[in-house]
Amino acid sequence: MHCLPEATLLRVLSNRTSPPVPANRTERASQKKRRTPIALFAIPAAIIAVVVVVILVVSGGADIPIIGGGNGQDDEVPPFDFTVKKSLAVATVVDADTAALTAAAEQVGQEITPTIDDLFTNAFLDPTNWREGDYEEVFAAFASEALPAAQENVETLTLGVTAGDLFEDVEPDKGSLAFNVLFDPEAQPDTAVVTFHFAAIGERTDGTFVRLVSDGQFFLVDQGGWKITAFDVTRTDRKMQPLSPSPSASPSSS
């Protein structure tokens, strides 16, 4: 579509609505009334256009949520899986079949690992959770007796309820698990303790980067599905320097 320059447009509009100037002051005033609003709206429109153009130029075309517009944020959940380092069986009888228990402990580790993968993904990586500060899916991993304590410690166990104000993006760095599995005298798994190390890189809204680290242990008991019955978790966040010209694309550990 062909666009007229703004000055030309104003002139054209002005010409099109310009009758002979009346002698009567009242009539002149009434005619002014009809002419003035056009200028009043056209000038601000031009100012708005200039302001928007300036902002776009200054911001380098970054995502800008103009009134009512989409936020432009990427809600894709970054893929993440823990690496299982070891699974140790703990017997409660003297003459236990160590090899069989070790294999069973590895099996238990495999059963629990997806639960822990999901827990940390939901707690730190899923943007739809941390942008809203809603971690319902995280708490599903906890047994009823541990649930209230988990909810009270939401700021430590997750990215936090205000994470949406703090972070632009969070990408996983690395994670490792080690399992200790206690077997009852009938060689059935009773309690598993998973020792975890989780690290992620968070890009803050102010452009700085933070290394998010969560270390600790979960006690899990099979209650028709492995549930966390006890926990001991330490969260350590450390400021860090951006690592590449476009760090949000593929952050890596320091």
- Binding stretches for another protein (CB under 8 A): 33, 36-37, 40-41, 43-44, 47-48, 51-52, 55, 58-59, 62, 64-67, 90-94, 96, 145-146, 149-150, 153, 155-157, 160, 162, 165-166, 180-182, 184-185, 190-191, 193, 195, 204-207, 210, 216-217, 219, 229-239
- In order of 154, 194, 196, 253, the CA distances from 85 in angstroms are 27, 11, 10, 19
E-assigned strands of 184-223? 189-204, 209-222
Q: How far is the CB of 16 from another protein (least distance, A)?
A: 20
Nearer to another protein, 74 or 145 (CB): 145
Nearer to another protein, 63 or 252 (CB): 63
3-state secondary structure of 168: strand
Long-range residue pairs from 232-241, CB within 8 A, at least 24 positions apart, any chain: 233/153, 233/156, 233/157, 234/156, 235/156, 235/157, 237/202, 237/210, 237/211, 237/212, 237/213, 238/210, 238/211, 238/213, 239/208, 239/209, 239/210, 239/211, 240/201, 240/209, 240/210, 240/211, 241/209
Q: How far is the CB of 209 from another protein (least distance, A)?
A: 11
Long-range residue pairs from 34-37, CB within 8 A, at least 24 positions apart, any chain: none
Nearer to another protein, 2 or 175 (CB): 175
Q: How far is the CB of 208 from another protein (least distance, A)?
A: 9
- In order of 100, 121, 141, 161, the CA distances from 137 in angstroms are 34, 10, 8, 14
Nearer to another protein, 66 or 79 (CB): 66
Nearer to another protein, 79 or 202 (CB): 202
Nearer to another protein, 81 or 168 (CB): 168
Q: How far is the CB of 5 from another protein (least distance, A)?
A: 21
Q: How far is the CB of 26 from another protein (least distance, A)?
A: 15
Q: How far is the CB of 79 from another protein (least distance, A)?
A: 26
